Structure 1
Amino acid sequence: MSVDNKNQSEVSPFLADNDKQSAIERKEQELKDTKISALETEDDSQDITCGFWIFRGAFLQSCATEAMYVTIYGIAGCFMAMCFAYFNGTITTLEKRYKIPTKTLGIISVGNDMSTMFASALTGYYLRKVHRPRWMGFGLFTIVIFCLLNCSLHFIYGAGEDALKLTRDYGDYQNLTGNLNRAHRDHKLCMSEDSSCIQEDSVWVPQFILFLAQFILGIGQALFLVVGLAYMDDNTTKSKTPAMLSFSTFLRMLGPAIGYSLASLCLRWYIDPTAEPLIKIEDPRWLGAWWLGWLILAAITFVIAILMSLFPKELPSSKARRLKLERAGKQNPIEHKDHSLSDMWQSVKLLATNKVYVYNTCASILYFFGYMVYWIFTPKYIETQYQQSASVATMATGTVALGFSAVGVLLSGYLVSKYKPSARAMAAWNATVDFLTVAGILLYVFISCEGSDQLSSMATSDSCIASCHCEYVHYAPICSPENVTYISACHAGCTEKTKDQLGRTLFTGCDCINPINKTGGSELQYAVDGACHVDCFHQFLIFLGVMCFLKLVGASSKSTNLLIALRCIPPEDKSFALGVGSMVASLLGFIPSPIFYGWLIDKYCLVWGKTCSNKGNCWIYDTQSLRYALNLAAGSFILMGGFMNIVVWYHAKHLKIFDEVKTETGETKKSLEDITLKDLGSTLQLQKIGEDI
């Protein structure tokens, strides 16, 4: 045997052993790969599976469609908008019940914007690879907490002594306050001694609870809106996005209408439904059952939150579409990596160089700042300017005016989807809407009611009541024969109280009221209990008509503004850009504007409901000065927003809105992802940042 044969025979056992070992290792590797593949397949199937825990099944899976998501998302947005509208509709009642100045309520109302400002950017940046529908469901659960916190005030403090004293169960209607009781015993309504100040419930606790509720609401709002819009845009085809946005926005626009209607209905009930009120709903002292609607909203929102949480991480149709594009090489798989603060800063710098994004955001902020006074304080404006009840003012603001907003959203969505206007055309329309809004606001200035303006001429500082101490007397209006309303009998200098043949309460000996000649030459200075009737209904209808027109026109620019915001940024930065935009809008628009307008409204207050430790709520305003100040201030901001939209029009010439754009020859097609936007900077830089994040 040769040496080679000998060596081969000696080595072969080792080779056989090695082959066996390699086969075993290959088999183990194949098993591992099979397990990994099975796990990946299972994870992939879980990503598109509806439901959680025991809430699963074929029926739920059949609901994992674009149309169903947009419907549920719109309904959820509707109830969230109902919460905002209901709060705004009950603002004047909260002011009277808890003696809160308008400026303080303005600060309370921005609590949600403060939390939204921080939550939006973090939400848009860090929640891009999580199960977004479940986070949206969590956001809706926080709104349930918001509703319950607001409602808890009534169960903690009750209806309040002021409201209960105006019911049959708590004594004679004429004995409104302790001071008047004392005056009634002494037969002197004009008190010669200083009256003791009015003790009230804890002032700061209700305000803190209201602010805390608003702060929690902002977190839920950020989770729902920022994540929800990005999820919808990622899971629908670009050609369907305008229609989807319009439909969901339409459903959300129904929310304020229903919310204001619910507030109007609840305010028709007295704050204590078990008591019989001795005043009518038109009386400015009427307090409605503001707390009742929060229980209804909490229950329904809880159900919607569960439904929203049932949607999968990614819709099956969207995943199939994405995988098809990836296999065809038309779209690169998006790799999600851990994010750092430096990555976030790079994304912020990129957005700051995007001129379309920056100017469009500025235009939106200016519009929001100007129009915020009408979103929050329109019911209060109607009550003070046109002397309508809280229920009527709330119904007009919601059911009537916001119905036109919904029509505007639907109409604009239809026109945009059908005619597919360019980005420049959309920006031009946004500017036109701003200028039309300014024109309508200028009309507000001239829609005045003489009877309402005369209320500010009441004698509150005449020398005739210099000897009367009426500073802490409750607001209990009386009407003079000259149709002038006085804050109370004390403020009119009255000294006696009696009944006439019709059973009306008469206050006599009123030094501040011009004497009336009676038969026999005697003179009598008297007033009738209750505020004077002021007929401003005609002016109110004119105001309502102008407001409906502005709602219709203004709502038509919502979809176009949002489409520009969505399309001027790369897909991978979409959620973050929306979050940053929401944060900046909160910081510069939503937070300062209610405080500013609240301060402006309080500046023109003539009569405060003072208490021992607080100036309380305002009862009478200088309506003429307030009308000029509010409307001119709001119009100025919106006018600047219109000029900013002109700048957007100039820089949006290269921006494409829709998926495919045909050339004149009809041969070339470009998808949105392939468009290089001049105003976005370097394409390589975009790709690098996109990979890093």
Structure 2
Amino acid sequence: MASNIPGIFKNNVTTYGEACEEECQIPENLKLQGISKTTSEIVDYSLYCGIYKWRPSCLRGSGNIIAFLAAACFISCLQASFSGYTSSQVTTLEKRFAIGSSVIGMINSCFEVGYICSVIYVSYVGSHGRVPLWISIGLFAMSGGAFLWSLPHFIFFDRSRTSYISLNEQLCILSNNTSTCTEGCDDSLLPGCSESSAIGYAFLPVFIVAQLLIGAGSSPILTLTPPFIDDHVPSSKAPPMIASLYAAAAMGPVMGFALGAFLLRYPADVLSMNKPFTIGPGDPEWIGAWWGGFILLGILVFIGGVILLMFPRKLLELPCSDHSQSKKMAVTNAPLNNGYVFGESTPMRPQCNHINTTLTTDVLADNDSEYQSPWSDFSSSRRSQRRSQNSNFKPCSQLDSKSTWDDFTTVLFSLVRNKIYIVACLCISTEMFIVIGFASFLPKYLEMEFRINKSSSSLIAGGLIVPCGAFGILVGGFILNRFQLRRIGAIRFVLVLNLLILACICSFLFLGCQNPSIAGLTVPYSDEFIPSSLELSSQCNTGCSCDKNEWSPVCHLASDTTFISPCYAGCKERFIVNSSMQEFHKCACALRSTNASLSSLPYVTTPGECDLHCSTLIPFVIVLTFSLFLTGVIQNPLLMVTMRSVDHNQRAFALGLKFVIVRFLANLPSPIVYGRVIDGACRFWRSECGRIGDCAFVDVQYLSVYMTGLGMVVKCFGLLFYFLLLYFLHHDKSADNASAFINNTNGNNITIQAVCLHHEAEDLEVSTIIVSNTSS
């Protein structure tokens, strides 16, 4: 068998130089005229960076794995920043386009639709083509999606009530004002609603297509980049390089939140600064420059696409490089059971991957005697599959399995029937359901619950909470490797952490704030003593023709009561103190609450609600950060259990199927469900041109109960799945089979020696397993 392979003979040792010289023969069409056939003198311009025939000499040394890794880390960070930036703009988008949180959640879920629809095709076709080209195509699609995100700002009519409102329109004026919509009127007849761009949800298809493009464009960078790196480096160097790729992606949401916090300080109409603005970034009705971030990210992603497009199909590397040497091995004629033994070579020769494993019951029951990173499992099985595509020999990873990668249906049904694998995927889905859903609306939750401005909520979410989750993933991998946890031990460890997370979620019920006193919404007007009679209109503002959609809250300091606008407070006079302060006088509704005369009536300031006396923000952030850290810790143990519960040659496919299952069960529905729950806590909806608009006021007590209750329900389902998984692991048939196998050896240890020989020039792999019994 070995004699058919160039450079390897049965009864002698072939030096590495001889094998390498024969391996490095270059086709005639790649040789330059007048150049010898030695590899050191061969120049292949197709390996240089450039576009089409433009391959400048200054870029000749850039087509290497280090340059590609740097570009890929930059792109991964940008790709992940879209999620953080979109989450930071939730309340802004809701007010700008008068939509609810459930609509935002549906838009966010379109990212998963685009990813799922493209990932299977891209992962198969792209892996057989020029990987940098496929990644560039995806980046150009993402760039187009980013530009589409900003397009509605320029083409759709802005009926925003907050950018520049005439101060006189906020007062209680007894007149037939047709430019406002009082309770019971048809706001579709208001000025601006007659334009086609303002009717219905005309902007919604643009957002949906944008998210589909971003999701589809993300699939190449997420699925093709790690295997491409693995193809160009030794197996020992692939995990840290891929880890750096994921670390860069983990910083993406942080960058997105930071960018959102910065741009929210500027008004949406920043290009028209000559218009008078009456509110600032601290006002709940402030609409920031949400569109600017999408344009900036679109430009950066487009630049990244051009950079990736310049990389060649195969990075600079010759078969006789140090990388190649580490993948080869010398062969001796030393006999063992009338066969061959693959001995270790000298340091100057390629090293042999020699596995000498003594099997025990625990090892077989856990499928691995020591921890290996999940990516190592994927990398090794993919590497074996790739190298043996044109070989008649089976790779080592397939010697103990009847399934092959070519038999897609068989492998798929095998995984679906694997109870441990499916339940483990359900456990991961419950974790990600809470993380994805809560993270999508975390800035809005902080803003609504604790009455902080949009920039502060984005900074807290992106600068403190999200990084702790990424740090937890690293800690989980360290714990898994340090204590060598097997499957049952890992699930017990995860169960304990989940109980702590559940306790943290329950504590959110006590870390919320009370509703502010808002006349007509949370408290009645002073002349109304029936708490259930909560209406915006009262005798004190009758005939004022107040606009029900105008949310310009003012605070009556004497009674610490907030009115949704000076008009609903019954104010008839306005006094400007300075450019940032104004007072409203003769407020009839505020007069009733103080039993004072008009002349002695304390002034009412605007804009803004009355100060909310709530001191639970810091404890809430601490508990939330700790719970997200624990959630990150359990990710690696769960992934390890998932990978160790399938055959070795199925691990790469199992990893991909796990991604699909989790995205279908968690990433796709979670933003929609959480958005609907948040909308359920809305106390006052505004209308927009004849349809339901955005939520003007959220009952924070209901919001805390609903969000916490949903998290508790999902976490309880997760605990049931964990106990079920623990039950299946205790009754795993492979453990019984392993015990019977060991007992049949009559006390002898079974030693398996498995080695693989990779002849890179012809892309072949020879596999040999030697099984021998040695007495104990």
Shorter-chain TM range is 0.7 to 0.9
Q: Which letter maps to 1:300?
A: L
Q: Does 1:594 align with 2:658?
A: no
| Alpha-carbon distance between aligned partners in 1 of 2:588 and 2:751, rounded to the nearest angstrom | 87
| Alpha-carbon distance between aligned partners in 2 of 1:318 and 1:586, rounded to the nearest angstrom | 40
- In the other structure, the counterpart of 1:64 is 64
Identity of aligned residues (%): 20
1:358-414: CA deviations, max 9, x gaps? 222211111111222321000100111000001110111011222323433444455
Shift of residue 508, structure 1, vs aligned partner:
3.5
State the number of aligned residues: 619
- Cα 1:444/1:232, change in 2 over 3 Å: farther
Shift of residue 304, structure 1, vs aligned partner:
2.4
Q: Does 1:633 align with 2:707?
A: no
1:149-202: CA deviations, max 9, x gaps? 112222223765534314xxxxx43435xxx69757889999799575545424
- In the other structure, the counterpart of 2:629 is 552
- Cα 1:314/1:389, change in 2 over 3 Å: same
- Cα 1:181/1:56, change in 2 over 3 Å: farther
Q: Which letter maps to 2:682?
A: C
Q: Which letter maps to 2:450?
A: Y
| Alpha-carbon distance between aligned partners in 2 of 1:608 and 1:467, rounded to the nearest angstrom | 21
Q: Does 1:478 align with 2:554?
A: yes
The counterpart of 1:335, out of the listed 389, 397, 402, is 389
- In the other structure, the counterpart of 1:208 is 205
SS in 2 for 1:609: strand
Report 1:475-624 matches (<5 A).
475-480=551-556, 481-492=558-569, 494=570, 496-499=572-575, 504-506=582-584, 508=586, 510-511=588-589, 514-518=592-596, 527-535=604-612, 538-565=615-642, 573=650, 576-624=653-701
Report 1:74-153 matches (<5 A).
74-153=73-152
- In the other structure, the counterpart of 1:19 is none
Q: Which letter maps to 2:86?
A: F
SS in 1 for 2:132: helix
- In the other structure, the counterpart of 1:227 is 224
| Alpha-carbon distance between aligned partners in 2 of 1:135 and 1:127, rounded to the nearest angstrom | 6
Instruction: Decide whether the 8 Å contact of 1:267 with 1:287 is kept in 2.
Output: yes
The counterpart of 1:440, out of the listed 504, 514, 527, is 504
Shift of residue 433, structure 1, vs aligned partner:
3.9
Report 1:13-412 matches (<5 A).
38=28, 49=47, 51-52=49-50, 53=52, 54-55=54-55, 64-65=64-65, 69-157=68-156, 161-166=160-165, 172-175=166-169, 194=185, 196-197=187-188, 198=190, 199-200=192-193, 201-232=198-229, 243-273=240-270, 274-275=272-273, 277-311=277-311, 313=313, 316=317, 320=324, 324=328, 333-335=387-389, 343-412=407-476
Q: Which letter maps to 2:49?
A: G
Instruction: Decide whether the 8 Å contact of 2:421 with 2:642 is kept in 1.
Output: yes
Instruction: Decide whether the 8 Å contact of 1:111 with 1:211 is kept in 2.
Output: yes
- Cα 1:236/1:203, change in 2 over 3 Å: farther
Q: Does 1:464 align with 2:463?
A: no
Instruction: Decide whether the 8 Å contact of 1:606 with 1:621 is kept in 2.
Output: yes
1:530-557: CA deviations, max 9, x gaps? 3333235632222222222223332333
Instruction: Decide whether the 8 Å contact of 1:141 with 1:302 is kept in 2.
Output: yes
Shift of residue 305, structure 1, vs aligned partner:
2.5
Instruction: Decide whether the 8 Å contact of 2:517 with 2:523 is kept in 1.
Output: no
Instruction: Decide whether the 8 Å contact of 1:159 with 1:271 is kept in 2.
Output: no
- Cα 1:149/1:566, change in 2 over 3 Å: farther
- In the other structure, the counterpart of 1:24 is none
SS in 2 for 1:616: strand
SS in 2 for 1:534: coil
| Alpha-carbon distance between aligned partners in 2 of 1:235 and 1:438, rounded to the nearest angstrom | 44
Q: Which letter maps to 1:320?
A: S
Shift of residue 71, structure 1, vs aligned partner:
4.3
| Alpha-carbon distance between aligned partners in 2 of 1:441 and 1:560, rounded to the nearest angstrom | 21
**TM-score with structure 2 length normalisation?**
0.69
- Cα 1:536/1:37, change in 2 over 3 Å: farther
Instruction: Decide whether the 8 Å contact of 2:172 with 2:566 is kept in 1.
Output: no
Instruction: Decide whether the 8 Å contact of 2:234 with 2:327 is kept in 1.
Output: no
Instruction: Decide whether the 8 Å contact of 1:257 with 1:398 is kept in 2.
Output: yes
Shift of residue 342, structure 1, vs aligned partner:
10
Q: Which letter maps to 2:554?
A: I
- Cα 1:122/1:606, change in 2 over 3 Å: same
1:454-477: CA deviations, max 9, x gaps? 785144426736966657442122
SS in 1 for 2:683: strand
| Alpha-carbon distance between aligned partners in 2 of 1:624 and 1:572, rounded to the nearest angstrom | 51
| Alpha-carbon distance between aligned partners in 1 of 2:684 and 2:574, rounded to the nearest angstrom | 26
| Alpha-carbon distance between aligned partners in 1 of 2:243 and 2:80, rounded to the nearest angstrom | 16
Q: Which letter maps to 1:113?
A: E
- In the other structure, the counterpart of 1:6 is none
Q: Which letter maps to 2:699?
A: D
Instruction: Point out the structure with the larger helix share.
Output: 1
**TM-score with structure 1 length normalisation?**
0.77
SS in 1 for 2:169: coil
- In the other structure, the counterpart of 1:677 is none
1:60-115: CA deviations, max 9, x gaps? 556533x6555443332211111111011011101101111111111111111112
**Gap runs ≥5 in structure 2:** 1-23, 33-41, 332-341, 343-351, 354-383, 392-404, 525-533, 736-747, 758-776
Shift of residue 351, structure 1, vs aligned partner:
2.1
| Alpha-carbon distance between aligned partners in 2 of 1:414 and 1:219, rounded to the nearest angstrom | 33
**Gap runs ≥5 in structure 1:** 1-33, 167-171, 657-664, 675-693
| Alpha-carbon distance between aligned partners in 2 of 1:361 and 1:669, rounded to the nearest angstrom | 32
SS in 2 for 1:531: coil
SS in 1 for 2:616: helix
1:630-663: CA deviations, max 9, x gaps? 112123213433443455566679999xxxxxxx
Shift of residue 622, structure 1, vs aligned partner:
1.3
- In the other structure, the counterpart of 1:659 is none
Moved more, 55-64 or 588-597: 55-64
Moved more, 346-355 or 93-102: 346-355
1:221-258: CA deviations, max 9, x gaps? 22221223444455555555554454332221111111
1:132-161: CA deviations, max 9, x gaps? 333222222221112111122222237655
Instruction: Decide whether the 8 Å contact of 1:361 with 1:581 is kept in 2.
Output: yes
| Alpha-carbon distance between aligned partners in 1 of 2:713 and 2:236, rounded to the nearest angstrom | 37
Instruction: Decide whether the 8 Å contact of 1:246 with 1:413 is kept in 2.
Output: no
SS in 1 for 2:696: strand
- Cα 1:237/1:35, change in 2 over 3 Å: closer
